[in-house]
Amino acid sequence: MTNKIKADICIIGAGSGGLSVAAGAAQMGARTVLIERGEMGGDCLNTGCVPSKALIAAGAHAYMMGEGEAFGIAPVTPQIDFAKVNAHVKGVIAAIAPNDSVARFEGLGVTVIKDHARFKDARTVIAGNKEIHARRFVIATGSHPAIPSIPGLDTVPFLTNETIFDQTERPDHLIVIGGGPIGMEMAQAHHRLGCKVTVIEAAKALAKDDPELTALVIDRLIREGVEILESVKVTGVAGAAGRISVTVEEASGRRVIEGSHLLVATGRKPSVDGLDLDKAGIVADAHGIKVDDRLRTANKRVFAIGDVIGGMQFTHVANYHAGIVIRNALFRLPAKVDYGAIPYVTYTDPELAHVGETEAEARARHMKINVLRWHLAENDRAQATHETDGLIKVITDVHGRVLGCTIVAPHAGELILPWVLAKSQALKLSAMAGIVAPYPTLSEISKRAASSYYTPTLFSMKTRALVRFLGLFG
């Protein structure tokens, strides 16, 4: 027998974006239904941000044990228990999971349904034996790994981000297909945990970012011992569990790479299968569900947020989308998305953080720009910690207004925040140059880069002449 439920808002998908909408709507008094067929918390908690950063942290601890010589400390070869590393990763997930649990959301007043959802019509969703009729719907079903068409790939076992964090035995030789952020993060973390690692990339590793900055990251991984093959084509995969062979075509010819494990990290696809979107008049293609700048689908009663609409697939973007939807769906305010100041971070060591326009993008969009740089080697804190592989690069217009910023440095994800503020508020460099930064900190690189904009004027011949003239008056 069908159980009919009436709601103000029904959310499909309990990942970061869906949970944010559900929590906000319920606490604002809306009758809220949340449907999730898998794990609460979605990709971020279970197979993405949280486990990857936990694994990266383990790799960082192992790496530092062998890097003490510069400080007068004898390096030590770490004894790595991969099963305990896995237990650490699972423990971090378990510690965060109560925040995303069914119990917590039911405590907030949300009706949580653990089942597959599909549209019956433009205003109705079916989930198991329940029929939900709501004023507004939000699709927040996220994404899943995109698997490339490589001959033989379907005949061998391979890992994705959804399965790599289940490994309790250390891979002997991990082959990574894909040199994007996920591939590079996992490559470095696994190498630091004692694995031989080969990364295979069809174009350029970290190709979406400024090549001047990514070169620093790539060079660091290579120096640590990660093999990175760029501009190569994978023509075939063969083997069985524990012995995988990947055939590639390089400029020098054909090559076969032998490894124990294979990680496929070639991007993600929106998760829309089985939703019966057509029955609700919702339009989608291979890139995701089509939405307007208010995140409404072709059916204006239905919103879509997060990875399922393509574009910038980050947890913080999904949470940003959640706020836009709540303003539109509950308060009927015409809030619109603006991606101009959305930051992102690649959690390699050093980290790579970015907001706004790259140099290439800025040159394509503006008649004239300014490019400011400050190297970590010129920072006293970086010298004290022997972490001088890094650079901040700031792009401004001719009026000194910030267009974009990219940072390669330890904790670059933390260092990028003032530049997010500068970009979002259309601040000029004078705001950054005028602050007092604590000494000695890495954050001084931001003030130094901003101040360098004024150096040519401050120390010009005109300024020198002015100082001499004023000196005549005592």
- The H or E element containing residue 269 is strand 268-270
Instruction: Tell me if 92 sits within 8 A of 50, measured CB to CB.
Output: yes
Annotated binding site for NAD(+): 178-185, 201, 267
Amino acid identity of 170? R
Residues at the binding site for FAD are 53, 141-143, 307
As annotated, the binding site includes: 53, 141-143, 178-185, 201, 267, 307
DSSP symbol at 394: E
The CA distance from 213 to 210, in Å, is 6
Report DSSP letters for 36-76, one per residue.
-SS-TTHHHHHTSHHHHHHHHHHHHHHHHTT--GGGT----
DSSP letter for 379, please.
Answer: -
Angstrom CA distances, 342 to 57, 315, 317, 337, 429, stand at 25, 11, 8, 11, 19
The torsion angles phi and psi of 7, rounded to 5 degrees, stand at: -145, 160
DSSP conformation letters of 287-327? TEE---TT-B-SSTTEEE-GGGG-SS--HHHHHHHHHHHHH
In sequence order, what are the residues at sequence separation of 6 or more whose Cβ sits closer than 8 angstroms to the Cβ of residue 181?
206, 346, 347
Q: Which amino acid is located at 462 in the chain?
A: K
- Quick one: tokens of 1? 């027998």
How many Cβ atoms from other residues are within 10 Å of residue 252's Cβ? 7
